[in-house]
Amino acid sequence: MMAEKWFWITVAVRRLRETFPHADPPRRKPSVRDVTGWITHHPDSLDEDKTQRLKEILDRCPALDPTARHVRSFAELMNNRRGQELKDWITRVRADRLPALHTFATGLEQHLDAVVASLSLRYSSGAVEGHNNKIKMLKRQMSGRANLDLLRKRVLHAA
């Protein structure tokens, strides 16, 4: 008797679900971090949904579209090691009214030779910087806890 009752309840619930199909839950609004990630990722690496959502956002915000174009062109300069084109990129950024990118361009101009060299040459000090960061992290962890001998041992052990 009880099993038969549950059977009919299940049938009724199934009919209700078929009669009133549920809609997908509303998508959450993209955060600033989401949009920034979509802009800075290579366009080919975004799936269709993210590409479409980014396109909708760029259509709604006219100031963001040129910013995204400049960011992507700067990424191409970095990835393709075309540092000699940096001055042209800075000129194009200055032509648009984008204060945040103007600040970035000013910072690049202050160290133009070094930035052009870093964007052009295949040499990198990334490995050295990684080791420096690791040593600094160990030093911060050990601060006020132990003497120099223990810090030395941890640094040597980490290397």
What does each of the 159 residues of the chain score in pLDDT, given as a tens digit?
567 778 888 888 888 877 877 777 788 899 999 999 999 999 889 999 999 999 999 999 888 999 999 999 999 998 899 999 999 999 999 999 888 899 999 999 999 999 999 888 888 788 888 888 988 888 888 888 778 888 888 888 876
**C-alpha dist (Å) from residue 138 to 18, 89, 133, 152:** 60, 40, 9, 10
Residue 91: which of 80, 81, 106 has the closest Cα?
A: 106
Q: With contact defined as beta carbons under 8 Å apart, do 138 and 106 qualify?
A: no
